[in-house]
Chain A
Amino acid sequence: GENVEQHPSTLSVQEGDSAVIKCTYSDSASNYFPWYKQELGKRPQLIIDIRSNVGEKKDQRIAVTLNKTAKHFSLHITETQPEDSAVYFCAATYSSNTGKLIFGQGTTLQVKP
């Protein structure tokens, strides 16, 4: 069925370290994979996305990689800062209906100063 699994559920890193969050999806025909950041008490906001015809995308300190064969994609944050502390959600669009976006369970990232 349609499913997105996200790990880990919580992640604590020291300021300046890197953080990696991984997601797997079940539909091999999924073609769009966004990442959202939700700060405490705020609405989720898109931080980066990747489409199935691209293997990697980078935007300053954040990057996303996609492995279509293994059906997983990952968010990489380098040189973490305290303001990176938030809940991060991955998502995937399913081919049977491109209007349907399914989210992972979320990862709470804590960056310790």
Chain B
Amino acid sequence: DGGITQSPKYLFRKEGQNVTLSCEQNLNHDAMYWYRQDPGQGLRLIYYSQIVNDFQKGDIAEGYSVSREKKESFPLTVTSAQKNPTAFYLCASSSTGGTGELFFGEGSRLTVL
């Protein structure tokens, strides 16, 4: 069953802790993306990667980090430096980068207690 899988679906963390969100795709897509979704603010780009071992900052990269060691995987770490980490995080992939359809995962909801 092809697709893009995010885990965990729900995550709680204490202030000061780092947390890593997983994103795996078996669509053989080169490009992968992380977006943050907050009410009334749309989807804001955190990081994106167009090829293995390369990634670029999006508009709100501060307090986040990523890696792209494998084509299938693009994990996002929310660090303690992120001032307002409570949000819904969406991962996506595309075969054509930004000029074609993005396939989204189901999202991960992070709550900082």
Contact = CB atoms under 8 A, between A and B. Distances in A.
B102 interface: yes
Contacts, number: 65
B69 interface: no
Given A44-B90, A97-B56, A99-B48, A34 B101 contact: yes
A103 B41 CA distance: 9
Given A97-B56, A99-B48, A100-B56, A105 B101 contact: no
Contacts of A42: 106
Q: Interface size for chain A: under 10, 10 to 19, 20 to 34, or 35 or more residues?
A: 20 to 34
B49 to A, nearest CB: 8
Interface in A93-112: 93-94, 97-106
B98 A99 contact: yes
Contacts of A104: 42
B99 interface: yes
Q: Interface size for chain B: under 10, 10 to 19, 20 to 34, or 35 or more residues?
A: 20 to 34
B25 interface: no
A46 B33 CA distance: 15
Contacts of A100: 45, 48, 56, 58, 98
B43 interface: yes
Interface string A1-21: 010001001000000000000
Q: Which 8 pairs between the two chains have the least Cβ-Cβ distance? A: A93-B98, A43-B104, A103-B43, A105-B42, A101-B98, A99-B97, A99-B50, A32-B99
Given A44-B104, A49-B101, A99-B56, 7 more contacts: A31-B99, A43-B90, A93-B99, A97-B56, A99-B97, A103-B44, A106-B43
